[in-house]
Structure 1
Amino acid sequence: MKRLLRFLRANGLTLAFGAGFLLALAGQAVAGHAEFNNRLVAEELRPVGFGGYLLTSDFAVDVTENWQSEYLQFFLYIFGTVWLLQHGSPESKELDKAGTETDKEQKVGRYARADSPRWASVGGVRQAWYSRSLGMVMCSLFLLSWLAQSVTGVAAYNEEHLRGLQAPISWSAYLTAADFWDRTLQNWQSELLAVGSMAIFSVYLRQRGSPESKPVGSAHTSTGVEG
C-alpha cells in the first residue's frame, strides 16, 4: 500500500492529466454520438449505436485535429524557446543564453555527471539525437496526428457529401480543400494565442507554488526564474 501511495505521489501530475484526458475523451464521445445521430435523424437516416460511432471518421477526425494542434504547440515551443526570448518571463531563458548553450551548461560529453542519462556522455550521433529527442518526438507526433486528421477528415468529408448525393474527392484534393484548412487553422490560432499569452502574462502575473510562475516576490524584469 505504501509503495502504491509513493507511486501515486511521485507520478501525480501525469496520472491526473491522463485521467482527465480519458474522462474528457469519453465525454466528447458521448456528446459527439448524440450530435452525430441528430444529424442523421434530420437527414431521415437511421441512427448508429455508440460503438458504431466510435469507429466513424467523424469521431476520429474530431479527436485527431485537436491532437495535432496540441503537439504542434509543444513542438514549436520546445524549439522556439531555444532561440526566442521574452524579457521577464519564466517561460524564457535568460537573455544571454539564447541558442543551444555549451556542453558544460548542458552537462554533456566530458561534463556529464554520474547520474546523467547514458547517451549524454557517449558523443556522436547518439548524443546529437538524444539532445534533440524531445522536440523530434513532439514533431513526429504532430506530423502523424496531422496525417491521421487528413485521412479521417477526407473520409468524413466524403461520407457527408455522399449522403447529399455529391461526388467524393481524393485525399490529395482534400489537402487543399477549405474544410481541411478550416479544421487545421482554427486549432493552430488558438494554440499560438494561448502560448503567446502565457509567455507575456507570466511576466507580470504570479501563481504561488507553480513552476510555471516566478516566485511571487520576483521582479517583473526577472527572466528564466521559476517559483
Structure 2
Amino acid sequence: MRVFRDNGLTIVLIGLFAVSIIGQWIAGWHVEMEDARRHGQAVLSLGAYTLSPQFLSSVFENWESEFLQMAAYVVLTAVLVQRGSAESKDPDSPPRDVDLDIQANKPGAPAILKWGSFWRAFYARSLGLALGLLFILSFIIHWTQSARVAAQEALAHGEKPVATMAYLTDSQLWFESFQNWQSEFLSTAVLVLLSIFLRQRESPESKGVAAPHRQTGE
C-alpha cells in the first residue's frame, strides 16, 4: 500500500507510542489504586486518573527530556562535528544552506523562503525553535503537575503544601528532570560514537556498511 510505503516510519512510531502510553496509563492507574487502598483513600476512576497530576506529571516528565534531547541535538549538530560519525555533518564539506535568497527560487523550495530575509532566518531555525518550545511547554506542565502531587502528599501528612512557584526550586522537581536528562544525553553521545565504528544496513542513521570509519555523515 502506497500510503504505508511512503509513511511507514511515522505510522509505526506513532503506533508504538500509542501502545506505550496506553500501557503507562493503565499500569499507572493500577499503581495509584493500590496506593490509595493502602492509605485508606478514595480510589480514582480511570477517567479521573487520566487528568490527575500523578499521570500528567509522569507523562510530561518524560516528554520534557525527549524534546530537550532532540532540540539540543538539532542545534548542536548544526555547529559541532564528530569526525567519522554518521550523526555529524562532514567538516570538510561546503556549507549547505548559503544564499537562501537564491535557493528560494529552486523548484519545490518552501514558499516561506520568498517572504523576505526575516522569514528566511526564522524558517532556517524553525526545527530547533519548535523542539525548544515543546521542551519548555512540557517542562512547565511537568513542574506544575509535580507541584500538585507534592501538595497533595503534604496535605495527606498534615504538612503545609509548597506553592507552585516555590516548587520550582524544590530538589524533587530537579531530581525528576535530571534523572531523565542525563540518560538522554548519554544515549545520544553513545549513538554518535558507535556510528563511527558500527553499522546498520540501509539505515539513514548509519553510514554504508562498507564506508570507512573516518567517513563523516551518511
TM-score, normalised via structure 1 length: 0.91
Q: Write the deviation string for residues 161-183 of structure 1: whole angstroms up to 9, x where unpaired.
A: 11111111111211111110011
What does residue 216 of structure 2 align with?
A: 223
1:74 to 57, 70, 74: 70
Aligned pair 1:31/2:27, yes or no? yes
Q: Write the deviation string for residues 90-135 of structure 1: whole angstroms up to 9, x where unpaired.
A: 100112359x75525xxx2113311111122443111111111111
Q: Write the deviation string for residues 30-69 of structure 1: whole angstroms up to 9, x where unpaired.
A: 1101111111111121222211111210000000010111
Alignment check: 8 A CA contact 1:208 1:216 kept = yes
Moved over 2 A (4+): 120-123
What does residue 96 of structure 1 align with?
A: 92
**1:161-176 equivalent positions in 2, closer than 5 A:** 161-176=154-169
What does residue 82 of structure 2 align with?
A: 86
TM-score, normalised via structure 2 length: 0.95
Q: Which 5+ residue runs of structure 2 have no aligned equivalent?
A: none
- Count of equivalent residues: 217
Shift of 1:8: 2.1
What does residue 124 of structure 1 align with?
A: 117
Q: Which 5+ residue runs of structure 1 have no aligned equivalent?
A: none
User: How many Å separate the matches in 2 of 1:72 and 1:97?
Assistant: 28
SS in 1 for 2:130: helix
Superposition RMSD on alpha carbons, in Å?
1.4
User: How many Å separate the matches in 1 of 2:135 and 2:147?
Assistant: 18
Q: Identical aligned pairs, as a percentage?
A: 35
Aligned pair 1:10/2:6, yes or no? yes
